[in-house]
Amino acid sequence: MRGFWSTEHVKAAEDRLLARTPEGALMRRASFGVATVALELLGGRRRVGLLVGAGNNGGDALWAGYFLRRRGVAVTAVLLDPDRAHPAGLAAFRRAGGRVASELPEVDLVVDGVVGLSASGPLRPAAAAHVAKVTAPVLAVDLPSGVDPDTGVTGGPFVEAHTTVTFGCRKPVHALADCGDVRLVDIGLQPELPGPDLMELEDADVAFAWPVPGVGDDKYSQGVTGIAAGSATYPGAAVLSTGASVLATSGMVRYAGQAADAVRARWPESICTGSITDAGRVQAWSVGPGLGTGLSAENVLRYVLDAGVPVCADADAITMFANNPDLWDARDPDTTVVLTPHDREYARLMGEEVGTDRVAAAKRAAERFNAVLLLKGNTTIVADPGGAVAVNRSRSAWPATAGSGDVLSGMIGSLLAAGVYPLLAAACAAHVHALAGELAADGAPIPASSLMAAIPDAIRSVRAVTP
C-alpha cells in the first residue's frame, strides 16, 4: 500500500524533523536525490536548466545544481524572484560555477524548482512564461509547479513533469495528478508522520485481500451474493452485474428481478428468481443498475436495505435515495452501505456538484450518509465515514463505457458477501475493474462485457505478484 500525506501533516512532520537535524542537512539530502535522478535522466548529456522560485523548493533546485556542477554538468539557473532566491543554495551554486541568466538556454533537462509544498493556485505569469518555452523533459522538485499539492487540481498554467522527485513521503498530488514517474527520496521523515491521509492499493494488497477458497470451503461458506438489478427495459445491466459477481469470487450468486430469463441464459450457474422475496439468503446485496426508479424498484430497495446484510447501492438505487430521502432514512442505520455514484449521481444525491476537490467531495458524502462512498472516474475515490480514503488511478480511460459501472457494482457485492471490509472491498474492486479494462482493451475500445470477461485475467495478474 502506498500512503500519501497532506501538506499540513508533512509540514508539521518536517518542523519536528528540522528541530533535531543540523541546519541545511535535510535540503542537501533532498537535493542530492534530485541531482542523482537528473544524472540518470541525462544519460550522459550535460546541459541542465533550473527554474528557481522564491522558497525552499527553489533552494532544492539550486543545491541540485550545485551537485550537478560537481559532476561536470553545465547548469544555468533562472531566478524568478532574484532577491528572495534561497541564499545558501544560490551561494553554493555560484561557488560551484553555476550560471545565472534571465532566460533558459537550450538544455537537455529542466529542473522545476518554481514552487513546492507552499504552492497556491496556478503558475504565476512570470513562471508560466518561462515554462511555456520549455521543450526539454522536466524533472519536478517535490511536485509539478502550478498543481495543487493537496488536491491535484490545476486552474491554469502548470508544469508537465516527465519525472518528479519527492521527499520524505508522497503527497496527495502524486496520487491525484499526473506527475510523471514519481521517485521518493528518504529524508528520515517517516517516524514523524501520522497515518496517511490517502492510500493507494498495490497489486499485492489486492491479492492479499481477495477471497480465495480454502480446502474446507463450500459454495455457501464463501458468502452468497445477491444481485437486484436490471428490468424488462434494461436486462443487460442484470447480466453484467451478475456476471461480474460470478467471475469475481467463487461461491454462489443469486439473481432476483425481471431479467431472470436473460441472466439464466447467460449465467447458468446463477440461481435466478423473478421476485426479490423469493431470492433466498445472501450475505450481501448489490442493488441498482438498470433497476428503474418506480414503485416496484423502491420496494426492492427497501427489501435489500432491510435484509441485515451489507449493500452496494449503485445507479438507480442512488437516484431513488436522492428522489426519496425517506428510503434512506428508513433503513436500519447499522446496515453497511457502499454507494457508488458517478458525478451526476453524486450531484443528485448531495444536491451539489462534485467540484474540483474530488477527495473532499467523497469525504463529505461518506460522512453525511455514514456510508462508504465510491466516486467513479478515471481516478476513483473511496471514502469511508471514519475519514479513511483510498484512491485508484486507472491507467487508461477505456473503462469509460456503458455498462462498466454495472460490472463494478457486481464485483463490490461479491467482495462484501465474502466478508471483505467495505472500504477495502470497494477499493479492491476498483483496482481489479480498472486492470480488467486495461487488459481487455489492449489499445482499442471495449464493450463492458469484454471488461467483465477480463476479470479472471485481472485477478490472476494481481495474484501473480504474491509468492
Ligand X SMILES: Nc1ncnc2c1ncn2[C@@H]1O[C@H](COP(=O)(O)OP(=O)(O)O)[C@@H](O)[C@H]1O
Is residue 112 involved in binding K ion (CB under 5 A)? Answer: yes
Q: By CB under 6 A, name the one of 37, 141, 165, 307 that touches ligand NAX.
A: 141
Is residue 141 involved in binding K ion (CB under 5 A)? Answer: yes
Q: Is 33 annotated as a binding residue?
A: no
Q: Is 57 annotated as a binding residue?
A: yes
Is residue 405 involved in binding ligand X (CB under 6 A)? Answer: yes
Q: Which of 15, 431, 397 is nearest to 199 (CA)?
A: 431
For the record, the C-alpha cell of 191 comes out as 517516524
User: Phi and psi (nearest 5°) for 239?
Assistant: -65, -40
Spatial contact of 118 and 167, defined as CB atoms under 8 Å apart: no
x/- mask, ligand X, residues 299-338, rule CB under 6 A, reads ----------------x-----------------------
Q: Which amino acid, residue 372?
A: V
Q: Is 171 annotated as a binding residue?
A: no
Q: Which amino acid, residue 455?
A: I
- On the CB side of 32, CA atoms within 13 Å amount to 8
Q: Which does 124 bind (CB under 5 to 8 A by kind): ligand NAX, K ion, ligand X, none?
A: ligand NAX
Q: Which amino acid, residue 442?
A: D
Residue listed under C-alpha cell 538556454: 105
Judged by beta carbon, residue 191 or residue 351, the one nearer ligand NAX is 191
Sole window of 174-182, 207-215, 294-302, 398-406 interacting with ligand X (rule: CB under 6 A): 398-406
Q: Which does 30 bind (CB under 5 to 8 A by kind): ligand NAX, ligand X, K ion, none?
A: ligand NAX
Count of residues touching ligand X (by CB under 6 A): 17
Dihedral, CA atoms, 14, 15, 17, 19, nearest 10 degrees? 160
- Least distance to K ion from the beta carbon of 309, Å? 48
Neighbouring residues of 417: CB distance < 8 A, sequence distance ≥ 6: 222, 223, 224, 225, 226, 249, 251, 282, 283, 284, 309, 310
Considering only residues 366 through 385, tell me which ones interact with ligand X, judged by CB under 6 A: 376-378, 380
Q: At what angle do helices 343-350 and 316-323 cross, to 10 degrees?
A: 20
Is residue 455 involved in binding ligand NAX (CB under 6 A)? Answer: no
Considering only residues 29 through 68, tell me which ones interact with ligand NAX, judged by CB under 6 A: 30, 53-58, 60
Q: Is 119 annotated as a binding residue?
A: yes
- Least distance to ligand NAX from the beta carbon of 152, Å? 14
Q: Which does 342 bind (CB under 5 to 8 A by kind): ligand NAX, ligand X, K ion, none?
A: ligand X
- Least distance to ligand X from the beta carbon of 290, Å? 9
Q: Which does 112 bind (CB under 5 to 8 A by kind): ligand NAX, K ion, ligand X, none?
A: K ion
x/- mask, ligand X, residues 421-450, rule CB under 6 A, reads ------------x-----------------
Q: Is 237 annotated as a binding residue?
A: yes
Sole window of 119-127, 247-255, 304-312, 408-416 interacting with ligand NAX (rule: CB under 6 A): 119-127
Provide the binding-site residues for ligand NAX, judged by CB under 6 A: 14, 18, 26-27, 30, 53-58, 60, 114-124, 127, 141-142, 146, 167, 187
Annotated binding-site members for AMP: 376-380, 405
Annotated binding-site members: 56-60, 112, 116-122, 142, 145, 237, 290, 342, 376-380, 405-406
Annotated binding-site members for K(+): 57, 112, 145
Provide the binding-site residues for ligand X, judged by CB under 6 A: 315, 342, 376-378, 380, 394, 397, 399-400, 402-406, 408, 433
